[in-house]
Structure 1
């Protein structure tokens, strides 16, 4: 949607949303989904992806950190959420 077109995110043109039920977490499914998505984006020439997550979700933040995501500074959001991004390359490190 147009409301998602935030100029500060132009370098991360793809948007990611992923949720796994608790019983499926910690079993490698998230990593496989992430690798599949990043590979598909890279194949299509998409250079980077971003996501928005609640700051309170510490386990998710740890997962995204392991997946190579970094905080994107300067994105206008309230303090309850953080915007993270990463390039679609470097899948061999996942």
Structure 2
């Protein structure tokens, strides 16, 4: 049987994972909107549209690498793949 501390830790972990999944979904939705509207894809645009802070984007090392160069079709696909991969990895942590 789990102790209260173990239950609380598990609950905190699940909440953190759910928050990350929500953040990833918001970024993905913002990216889809920008692509559909044929707007420039920048951290500022993604941040404004998704409501996620720019700091979050800069803290994600892979995203920083993608945004370092010019955003191309390949970069956009990398962004979608990264978001998909992160969602899958987050669900494994439960």
TM range (shorter): 0.3 to 0.5
Question: More strand by proportion, 1 or 2?
Answer: 1
Question: More helix by proportion, 1 or 2?
Answer: 2
Which of the pair has more CA radius of gyration? Answer: 2
